[in-house]
Amino acid sequence: MKKYIYLAGPIAGCTKEEATEWRDDVSKSLPHGIIGISPLRCEPLKKGMRFTEEGATEKMWSDPRAIATKNWLDTESCDLVLAYLPAEFNERRPSYGTTIEIGWAIGLRKPLIVVSDDKYLMDHPLIKHNASWRFDNLEDAIEVIIGLFGDYVKSPV
């Protein structure tokens, strides 16, 4: 059996490295059978551009309806949502899409981990009440994910 973790977080206004490195690091830290799902898996960014720049990704994937449909599919299909919202990115441009995905996860009654060093965000009553776990680092989130799903994905002996 496999378990899927939706890796929600900032994209708009981010460089490729900012949007993908943390997702790649989390995915590589998960054991076999626990799979990180990146919303960027089919949105290759053109070299030297940011995701909000006109023509930065293929129109097929960057159309607002395509983005919303794919992100809803991912949120609905996953076993847990990991929302990463670092203060540095929030100060530059709030990740409205991620907050919508957090709302979807809550509505779908998905386990939700919110990771942020943004005290204002983490102290928000709806985050405090609805996030299953709240951390200021990804390592703790990974530990919880492995703890929750590790036995589900083990091969029978």
List pLDDT tens digits, range 96-138: 999 999 999 999 999 999 999 999 999 999 999 999 999 999 9
Distance (Å, whole) CA 65 – CA 134: 30
Q: Strand 80-84 vs strand 3-8: parallel, antiparallel, or unpaired?
A: parallel
Beta strands in the chain (DSSP E): 3-8, 34-37, 80-84, 112-115, 133-135
Q: For the chain, what are the domain ranges?
A: 3-153
Q: How far apart are the first and last CA of the chain?
A: 14
Tens-digit pLDDT profile for residues 69-93:
999 999 999 999 999 999 999 888 8
Please provide the CATH number assigned to the domain covering 3-153.
3.40.50.450
pLDDT at 146: 97
Distance (Å, whole) CA 57 – CA 49: 9
- Overall average pLDDT of the 46-73 stretch: 73
